Homo-oligomer: A and B are copies of this chain.
Amino acid sequence: MTIATEKSDTPGRRRHRGEHRVTIEDVARQAGVAPITVSRALNTPDKVSLKFRKRIDLAVETLGYVPNLIAGGLASAGIRMIPVIVPSLSILTYIEVIHGIQQTLEASGYQVLLGSTDFNLERETALVDSVLGYSPSGVILTGLKHSDRTIRRLQSWGRPVVEMMELGEGGIDMNVGVDNTQVGATMARHLLERGYRRIAYLGTGMTHDYRAMQRYEGHHQILREAGVESERLFQHDEPSSYDIGRQLFLEAREACPELEALHFANDNLAAGAILEANRRGIRVPEDIAIGGYLGLSLSEHLTPRLTTVAVPRFEMGVAAARLLLMRLEEQASIATQLDIGHQLMVREST
């Protein structure tokens, strides 16, 4: 029980310029037990007698021991960490999803590692390669389109992977999201039902953000089926903002004064348009109707209140994290695909 004491202070150990962190061995010596017992007391306390547990807790407190998670991770092939890879941190949607993920995972003792790809598949590939080097417990990434290398690597990886934001077949593992085509279709259908016929779609970043493109396609298809001019499309390449929304609004009005309704790719753009309409005294929806997508809280506070297709973004993050956790805790999740749904919020702007 005390043999360990001798061999400890032998010099010549410890490189890393003498940082001498307190190690599990120090705690073990202080508590008069074997290192492995300390390890158990910390990781599986119910496998250690109360007597020792108390001695060990005291030693941990006295020495200010902080477990080296890196060493633990190496020994047990993995750390409680989940990389979350999103296209951008300047888009509110992803932020809210990350928030849901983070809150859920942190509650279960997992850390979130943040990565952003800028909608660039090569960067995503590099990021995935890199974060897999940490042997994380699982991975959450955005969308269903990835490089072959990423797909192959993750499929053969053997740990849970969640692809989120988008719904579809042939995913790597688990999948939570919304059907973007349906989202676009829902608003288009609503605008048609309201009696509008001259309808334009206004969006941003559709060259690289293919989910935005899917929503447009849903919109386009519904209009075409209705036998209505379906290809009125205004777009910018900069990220969405109130200002771009304002600009798109003005451009569309100028290019097609006969427009009756504007279907914006998201609420930021739509809000920018409504705010500009307010300023210019253009009446919404009498002069022109406006619809959005997302369900940002701002949309309820505008005058007129914005009609939008709301998506529970925070909840999507929670759901993604939950799926992962279920798999990790061996509760063998049944659902491998989860449609988080969307809801048309009919308000005053249409």
- Chain B nearest Cβ from A346, distance in angstroms: 19
Task: Check: A229 CB closer than 8 A to any chain B CB.
Answer: no
Closest chain B residue to A129 by CB distance?
B66
Question: Would you list which residues of chain A between 91 and 121 have a CB under 8 Å from chain B?
Answer: 95, 98-99, 102-103, 106, 111-116
At the interface, yes or no: A282 with Cβ under 8 Å from chain B? no
Known: A113-B113, A242-B297, A278-B278. A66 touches B303 (CB 8 A): no
A241 at the interface (CB under 8 A from B): yes
Smallest Cβ distance from A112 to chain B, in angstroms? 5
Residues of B within 8 A of A74 (CB): 68, 70-71, 74
What separation, in Å, do the CA atoms of A158 and B16 have in the docked complex? 12
* Chain B residues near A90 (CB-CB < 8 A): 99
Q: Which of A41-92 contact B (CB under 8 A)?
A: 64, 66-71, 73-74, 76-77, 79, 81, 89-90
Distance in angstroms from A90 CB to nearest chain B CB is: 6
Separation of A143 and B231 alpha carbons in the complex (Å): 51
A154 to chain B, nearest CB (A): 12
The smallest beta-carbon distance between A296 and chain B, in angstroms, is 10
Residues of chain A whose beta carbon lies under 8 Å from any beta carbon of chain B: 16, 19, 64, 66-71, 73-74, 76-77, 79, 81, 89-90, 95, 98-99, 102-103, 106, 111-116, 129-135, 153, 158, 241-243, 246, 271-272, 275-276, 278-279, 297-298, 300-303
Can you give 28 A-B contacts (C-beta < 8 A)? A16-B77, A19-B158, A66-B129, A66-B153, A68-B74, A68-B133, A68-B135, A69-B133, A69-B134, A70-B73, A70-B74, A70-B134, A89-B95, A89-B102, A98-B114, A102-B114, A106-B115, A106-B116, A111-B130, A112-B113, A112-B114, A113-B114, A242-B298, A271-B301, A272-B301, A275-B302, A278-B303, A298-B298
